[in-house]
Structure 1
C-alpha cells in the first residue's frame, strides 16, 4: 500500500496533484487540452532511452569511454538556438529557430526526463551544452514541456535523484519554477519517499536552493502541507530543518498543523508542535483551529496532544516564562502513556 501511495504521490509532475486539492481532475483536463499529442509523449516513449541503457551496461569494464558528441543535427540546432537566444520574440518565432528549439527540446527531455534516465548520459549532455555556451546550458536546463514541467520536475517525480543532483550542480537550475498546475520541484519532492541517505542529501540540497515556503498557485499549499497530507514524516523533518514555516496558511486558512490534525497524523503533530513559534491558536476561514479539527475528525489521540500543548503554553505564560523550563509534553524525550 505504501508503494502505491508513493507512486501516486511522486508521479504527479504534470498535474501536481495532492490530497488536499479538490480541483485536480479539472486542472488535468485543462492541461490536456493545452498540450499537443507530441508534447504529451515527450516523456512517455521510453524505448530509445531503454535501448541506450542496455547498450551502456554492455560496455566492458576496461573499455575506454569515448568523448560524447552531439549528432550533427543536434549540434546544428544548438548553435542556431545559441545564436538567437538574445533576439526579439519575432525572430525567436521564425521557422528556423522554432525547428531548432523543437529538436533540442525533444532530445533533452528524452534523455533527461524518462523514468529510466541515466545520470551518466545526462551528464554527457550537460557537458556538451556547456561547451556550446553557458547561456545555452541555462536555457536548456530550464526548458519546459506542454505542461510547464522542466527536467527537474520530472527527475524529482521519478525519484531519480542522481539526475536531480546533476541538474542542481549546474548552478543555473530554476528551482522555484512552477509548472502549469502551480507546483515547484520542491513541492513534488515533498511527496517522495526517500530510502537512501545520499538521496536525502540531494533532497536537502534542493530544499536549500529554493523557497521551501513558496505556495502552489492554485490552492496556496506549501511543500510542508503536501508532505504532511501524504504522511511523509522524513520530508516534514527535512523541510523544517531547511526553514519551512509551520504557521503559513493556504487559501482556505489552513496550516500544516491543521492538515496533520485532520489526517490524524499524531507523530507529525508532535514534530510540528516542537517547532519554536508554532501557533496552535491560528484559525482557518471557517473559524476552526487545529484542536477543533482533530476533534471533528474523531482523532482523539491527536486532540489530546494538542490540548496538552495548549495548556502547557498557558501555564508557561502564567509563570512568566522562567529561564529554565520543563520540556513540553509533546517532546519525544518525555515518557507518556501509549495511546
Structure 2
C-alpha cells in the first residue's frame, strides 16, 4: 500500500478509494464505521486509520449529521473516543441545529456527555433550531444526572466560550454600596 498520513502514516493512496464519498443515502464510509460495534483491538486500529484518512467532520447529505453524532446517538463510546482523537469538531450542528452533546443528552449517555464536555471548546450553551440546549433536552428526557453535568459546565467551567453566561456570587451591598431597592 502507498501509505501516508500526518497521524498514523498509514493512509492508503487516494487512488484506491475515496473515504469521503457519500452513498445514495448520503453517508460516507467514516459515518458507517462510526456505527459499528468493534470487539477486537486490531479492528479498532483499522477504524482509526479510516477516520484519520478522511473528513471526520463531513455532514451527511440528508439531515446533516456527522460521524460523531451517529456514534453518539447509538452509544458507541469507543467510536466517539476514536473520532475525538482524530480532531472531530464537537460543536458542529446538523440541519435541525442539534449537536453531538444534545444527542448524548437526549439518549442518556452519561459517559459520552462527560467525554464531550472534556473537549476544549465544547460549547454546552448552543441552541438548536427550536431554541433548546443540551441542558433543556436532558431535563425534558428526565436525565437529571446529565443535566447537573451540563449545568456545571455551562455555569462554572474555566474554559467557557465567549458570551457564555457565568453565575457569579452576589455580594451583599456594603455601607457604600446600596441596593437598588434600599
**Smaller-chain TM-score range?**
0.7 to 0.9
Q: Distance in 1 between matches of 2:148 and 2:37?
A: 29
- In the alignment, what sits opposite 2:125? 281
Specify the structure having the higher radius of gyration (Cα): 1
Question: Pairwise mapping of residues 1-339 of structure 1 onto structure 2 (< 5 A)?
Answer: 169=12, 171-172=14-15, 173-313=17-157
Deviations 1:99-128 (A, max 9, x none): xxxxxxxxxxxxxxxxxxxxxxxxxxxx9x
- Relative to its length, the structure with more helix (as a share) is 1
1:171 shift after superposition: 4.4
Deviations 1:228-278 (A, max 9, x none): 000000000000000110000000000000000000111000000000000
Q: Distance in 2 between matches of 1:249 and 1:309?
A: 19
Query: Which consecutive unaligned segments of at least 5 residues does structure 1 have?
Result: 1-126, 128-167, 318-339
Distance 1:316 1:228, change over 3 A: closer
Q: Distance in 2 between matches of 1:316 and 1:254?
A: 21
1:189 shift after superposition: 0.3
> Number of residue pairs matched?
150
TM-score, normalising length: structure 2: 0.79
TM-score, normalising length: structure 1: 0.43
Deviations 1:70-120 (A, max 9, x none): xxxxxxxxxxxxxxxxxxxxxxxxxxxxxxxxxxxxxxxxxxxxxxxxxxx
* Preserved contact between residue 121 and residue 159 of structure 2 (Cα < 8 Å): no
1:316 shift after superposition: 6.9
Alignment RMSD: 1.6
Moved over 6 A (4+): none
Q: Which has the higher mean CA deviation after the structures are superposed, 272-281 or 191-200?
A: 191-200
